[in-house]
Structures are given as C-alpha cells and as structure tokens.
Amino acid sequence: MDIRYEEVDSNNIKELANLANTIWHEYWTCILSDAQIDYMVDKFQSESAILEQIKNDNYTYFYIVFNDEKTGYIGMSKKEDCLFLSKLYIKQQFRHNGIGRNSFEFIKEYAKKNKYDKIQLTVNKHNENTIKAYLKWGFKITDSVVTDIGNGFVMDDYIMEYQLEKI
C-alpha cells in the first residue's frame, strides 16, 4: 500500500480546512443536520480553528497521502496523560480499503515515539461503523459525555481508550 503521512504546517492549513469541509459534509449527513455540520466545521476545522489548535492546544495534523493523493487527515493533541486522537477522517471513495487501519498503526507509533501508553478519543454514539472499527482495533469504551458546543448544538459521545504497552 503506497501510503504516507505528511505533517501539516502553516503553509497548507487552508488546504486542510478545505479537505475537512469536504469530508465532514460527505460523512456526517446521516448523523447530524447540515446546520450542525456547518457550525462544527467552522468552530473546529476552519483555517483559524486549526491554527489555534496547533499554536495553543498541542495539536499536530497529518495528511493521509495514498497513491500521491491527499485522501484524509489525522489530528492529534498531546495531553498530560494521553495522546488524544481528535480527528481521523478519510474521503468517502477511499474508505474500507485498509487506510484507516494503516493510519491507526501510524498513530500508535506516533504515541510511542512521544512516550504515551494510552490513546484516547471521543466518538459520536450514533457513529456505529466507526465505533465497530475502534473496538476491532482494541479500543474500549470507558465513559460517555454530552458536550454543549454552543449555538444550540451538543456532541453526544463515547470516550474510548486504547492501551499501548507500558514504556
């Protein structure tokens, strides 16, 4: 599989925001309203939001490049006690062919390199296929949370964790 990961820098944040907008609108329509998707993209995946996350919240973003095409992206934040996997999104036509699994291997290596023994994420409770994938990869549901994100919208999520071997 010809796949590589390119770190996003300040020169291509706009390109990442455009990719995020495309993927979110093809992915979330079966779970969230268009209004909520638009709001969340603007709040969490706009150019300014991504820049803020990188500058102030210990975020690192990577493009997922498959056969020389940017087919998705990963966003991770270095927390005190875990690596927080905030984003793992792949364009619709590239899903279900091993890119997600390969990307998770990359994420585990990134966590180990940064001396973490735990990866944590939140996933929408209605995102059944993604929950199944994370469970298959070895994640466990540890909690659930409803988060008010403003504008009358909430995120209704499970918290999931993956335990790496102790360092």
**Is the predicted pLDDT of residue 162 greater than 80, yes or no?**
yes
d(CA 50, CA 16) in angstroms, rounded, equals: 9
Mean pLDDT, the chain, as a whole number? 95
Query: What is the residue range of 44's domain?
Result: 3-163
Q: Is it the case that residue 28 has pLDDT exceeding 90?
A: no
**Total of domains in the chain:** 1
Residue 155 has a pLDDT of: 93
Give me the mean pLDDT over the 9-16 stretch: 94
Mean pLDDT in residue range 142-153: 96
Sequential DSSP letters for 3-34: EEEEE--TTSHHHHHHHHHHHHHHHGGGTS-H
Q: Does the predicted TM-score (pTM) go above 0.75?
A: yes
Q: Looking at residue 133, which CATH number applies to its domain?
A: 3.40.630.30
